[in-house]
Amino acid sequence: MFRDEPAFRHFAGWLLVLGLWLARPGEAMPTNVILFIGDGMGYNQVAAAGLYAHGASGTLSFEAFPNQAQVTTHSADSAITDSAASATAMATGRKANNGVISVAYPGDGHELPTVLEHAAAAGKATGLVTTTDISHATPAAFAAHKPSRYNSAGIVQDYLQQTRPNVLFGGSQYLSESQATAASYTVVKDAAQLKGLNTDSTTSVSGQFAAGNMTYEYDRTEATAEPHLSEMTAAALDILDNNPMGFFLMVEGGRIDRAAHSHDLTRMIHETIEFSRAVQTAMDWAASAGPSNTLILVTADHETGGLDVLAGMGAGQYPDVTWSTPGHTGANVPIYGWGSNSEWIAGVMDNTAIYSVMMATPRVVPASGALALASIGLIVVALLRSRRMI
């Protein structure tokens, strides 16, 4: 028997607060949800790119977002996640084993509904944009269901036959022009064709801009025919916003990760800066669209390389850095939120909670159970105040 136990008092108070918070009325999914994922983009990847682009006083576009938090990234079977498991967590709200694309492993392997599928079921338009191959694990987790991330042909079949996103932009090693055309997609092959696309009348577009991963920003020249990530984002928004019911769009800066695996600071920085431009493109779209129920989130699936920034050298100069691993790490990654429901971005969150923010379902227990928690908290607080403990 304890009397006025401080730890128990603290616990009772949290029961009360948690119960009252969880008992709030549910809110509707925002009309438009735009999720940016910088693959491998940890805090120091953001810092290094900001130092190069703007110097010590500058920041990237999304660093000005009003709501920010840390995200834990472990998968169901490892402290260090891969892109498949992390994207599955964000897309479905469920932990999965590394390598798994939105199916229940651990578990019976059933398909886990994704935020993209929920959006489509609600009549919204949907889209996936990446600088990697379109069948890469990150976009795949939002619109495919496979036990292995390496089943690229099967992932593409899920896109075309099951989930049918309105926009599929990226590399296309496993998605051919004939496949896309047979599935009633308009196909564009380069930046000029994308720019010339009539986005007012086109509803389903496959942008096949490379035979695999797209060209690093740093390696592009005047002759490079591929669109930039910011240009793909702008075109995707112009297509998707024709739907009066709204849309869901996932945009991946996929080559940040590959550069970090190689400890290629130069290419990693330029990929991150272009990723920031893509986010600014979405912000500009939101401003021009007028008042709307739009949520923009910017985060990462994991950190890559164990990057540490030692010192900035000024704008236009690469910072002094060290790397600790050629692989992923288990470090927390940032998340930045703007717009509808972004106030739920706070503190330290698990990556599964990102799904709940996008779906506007932050509750983890029914309202009746939440009220029961609050009631228990009130009772315990009252007992403590009377200095009796049963």
Write the DSSP assignment of 225-285 as a string of letters.
-SPPHHHHHHHHHHHHTT-TT-EEEEEEETHHHHHHHTT-HHHHHHHHHHHHHHHHHHHHH
Reported residue count of the chain is 390
d(CA 260, CA 255): 8
In the block, tokens 């509904």 appear at 113
**Main-chain phi, psi angles of 108, to 5 degrees:** -90, 0
**Main-chain phi, psi angles of 259, to 5 degrees:** -65, -40
Which residues have CB under 8 Å from 251's CB, separation 6+? 34, 35, 36, 37, 129, 130, 229, 232, 233, 236, 278, 282
85-to-97, 110, 251, 379 alpha-carbon distances in Å:
6, 15, 17, 41
Whether 83 is catalytic is: yes
Contact by Cβ (8 Å): 40, 300: yes
Position 355, amino acid: Y
Angle at 104 between CA 120 and CA 367, to 5 degrees: 70
Rounded to the nearest 10 degrees, the angle between the axes of helix 6-22 and helix 367-385 is 150
Which residues have CB under 8 Å from 199's CB, separation 6+? 235, 238, 239, 242
Position 112, amino acid: L
Position 32, amino acid: N
Set 61, 75, 83, 340: catalytic member: 83
Catalytic residues: 83
